[in-house]
Structure 1
Amino acid sequence: MEGVSVLPSRDAVASLIAWWREAGVDTLVEDSPRDWLAKQNPLPRAGEGRLRSSQGEGLKAALTALTPLAPSGTSRPLPIREREELPPSLPELLAWMRDSAEVPEARWGRTRILPSGDPHSGVMILTDMPEPGDAEAGRLLAGDVGDLFDKMLAAIGRSRETIWLAPIASVRSIGRVPSDVGSLLVEIARHQIKLVAPKRLLIMGEVPNKALIGDDWQSRRGDYHMLNFDGVEVAAVPTFHPRLLHKSPSYKKEAWRDLQLLMKGL
């Protein structure tokens, strides 16, 4: 009848409620307006700010226990906990590098490429980190760069089995390595060199040469550099990385001189 409101049926009400529930608006909302297009504030770090309510305290505790993920395109390694000293023997050091969550590159990837070869060969070759594809290949310096490296070894009468090949970092970094993490990696590399105590050390590439020889390492090529590793003196020869030789073959002649210097007297 005109002027008399008709209440919706029970089925209609149930249908309406179900529709709102599926739309996700069946929960309480705030009375104050919200700018949904505004950028969200980052989650507070442990110890910064306060989360309200009992649920907020639980979330705060959970966030404190987690290590924040690195932004896309960067690497944030797991920090090394305080320790008295590195493992005292080479087998113990290698096991620590393979299994420990304390190594600086532990968060960079799952596959670690460890040093390999013969630590008693008298020749140690140091590089910076694995190449792209090394993790899948399961060895350091695989692919085209590795083929060139094998030819370099063959030219001086050596092979992977008759040298000790070691990277400063066992996992390839996605982005720039922070200076403090780099210092820890170099410290571990220096300790490894001390334990191996090679007669000759070939340092390949800019990063390890800057760390052990200095920023002017290229101008100081062509001679031995006597480096002291906590009482162990090693004759080091700086040279270019095979990846550079692969891209720029014009450097091969200079690299060949470095290889000859490496093997002189051995």
Structure 2
Amino acid sequence: MLTGSDPSPPSAEALAALLEWYRDAGVDMAIDEIAIDRFAAPAAAAPVVAPVPAEAMPAARPALPQFATSVPGATPTIGVAEAEAARIAAASAETLDALREALARFEGCPLRLTARSLVFADGNPNARIMLVGEAPGREEDLQGVPFVGRSGQLLDRMLAAIGLGRQDVYIANVVPWRPPGNRTPTPEETAICRPFIRRQIELVDPDVLICLGGAAAKELLDTREGILRLRGQWLGYDTGRRQIRAMATLHPAYLLRQPLQKRLVWRDLLALKAALPQETH
């Protein structure tokens, strides 16, 4: 029976569980509890606002990079200036540390303005195996390290299944900044980051390159093939010094949604183990 009194407030444990559920769902901002129909609301007269003295005005925010306008239906293009700046910055880096610094200074990608961290890499830069995903998620953005959330924990177990750990591999992403709300990076954002991930692969110069997911595979292996058709096949990748073996497999995030597909990844892992240099076994 309703008494008209307010219900008891939720416990701290319940609130923490709710926040964790929101986090896993990709929610990273608050909205009003009551929906507002902006189309039905009557137009209100614009309020009269007193002029603000110039000395009280906040400093202007840096302008976002302007991307070139693309024809509807065509592949979006990036600005020539930004593309050239990315190419020069990446090519000038002679070491991985220098490449990280170049990315930290690079202002041509708008994602750096919304992300908390530059998520550059993790693992062993001298490893013979390099893994590349698409872009960081929330946990990766918070910690500045790739694959540390639920997908990363599954990736660790996948590697452990064939006797490998993070000390045996080098891990990076095509896009090193988290897109807002964990959305998919736009073609412009991926294109502007392309010189950096390719230079990163050149500097690591691994024996084996593993693309985690279809987005990374399409970017690095120059293919339009779907990931379920492409996965498990040995292809070639030119590091700039030599051709190395490359394979695409399913992304750990996909496996969290489709656990039955782990059987396919197990086959890919066994193929990877068989292809490894003897000293990494």
Give TM-score scaled by structure 1 length: 0.67
Deviations 1:97-119 (A, max 9, x none): 2x314362322313122201112
Q: Which amino acid aligns with 1:201?
A: L
Relative distance call for 1:123 and 1:81 in structure 2 (3 A) is closer
- SS in structure 2 of the partner of residue 227 of structure 1: strand
1:100 and 2:100 aligned: no
Residues 66 and 164 of structure 1: CA distance in aligned 2, closer, same or farther (over 3 Å)? closer
- Contact 1:194/1:232, CA 8 A, preserved across alignment: no
Out of 234, 239, 255, which is 1:245 matched to? 255
Amino acid at match of 1:197: D
Alpha-carbon distance in 1 for matches of 2:267, 2:257: 19
Structure showing greater radius of gyration is 1
The alignment partner of 2:209 has SS state of: strand
Gaps of 5+ in 2: 1-42, 47-52, 67-77, 277-281
Calculate percent identity across the aligned residue pairs: 25
Superimposed CA distance per residue, residues 59-101 of structure 1 (whole angstroms, 9 cap, x where no aligned partner): 9xx97x841599xxxxxx998474335213222112222x314
What is the CA distance between 1:142 and its match in structure 2? 2.1
2:224 corresponds to:
215
Any stretches of 5+ residues in structure 1 without a counterpart? Answer: 1-35, 40-54, 71-76
Q: How many residues align?
A: 204
CA distance in 2, matches of 1:144, 1:178: 23
Do the aligned partners of 1:126 and 1:202 also contact (CA within 8 Å) in 2? yes
Q: CA deviation at 1:38?
A: 8.2
8 Å CA contact 2:236, 2:244 repeated in 1 = yes
1:119 aligns with 2:115: no
SS at match of 1:106: helix
Aligned to 2:153: 147
Residue of 239, 247, 262 corresponding to 2:272 = 262
Query: Is the contact between residue 217 and residue 238 of structure 1 (CA under 8 Å) also seen in structure 2?
Result: no
Q: Which whole-Å CA distance do the structure 2 matches of 1:261 and 1:103 have between them?
A: 39
TM-score (norm 2): 0.63
Task: Within 5 Å, give how 1:136-215 maps onto structure 2.
Answer: 136-174=142-180, 175-213=183-221, 214-215=223-224
Question: Partner of 1:89 in structure 2?
Answer: 95
Name the SS of the counterpart of 1:253 in structure 2: helix
Amino acid at match of 2:224: D
Shift in alpha-carbon separation, 1:91–1:139, aligned structure 2, 3 A = closer
User: Residues 123 and 185 from structure 1, CA distance in 2 versus in 1: closer, same or farther, beyond 3 angstroms?
Assistant: same
- Distance verdict in 2 for CA 1:136–1:177, change over 3 Å: closer
State the Cα distance separating 1:168 from its structure 2 match.
Answer: 1.5
Q: What is the root-mean-square deviation of aligned Cα atoms in Å? A: 3.2
Do the aligned partners of residues 117 and 66 (structure 1) sit closer, same or farther apart at CA in structure 2, a change above 3 Å counting?
A: closer
Tell me how far apart the structure 2 counterparts of residues 225 and 132 of structure 1 sit (CA, whole Å): 31
Deviation for aligned residue 1:140: 2.0
Residue 138 of structure 1 and its aligned partner are, at CA, apart by 4.2
Deviation of 1:143 (Å): 3.1
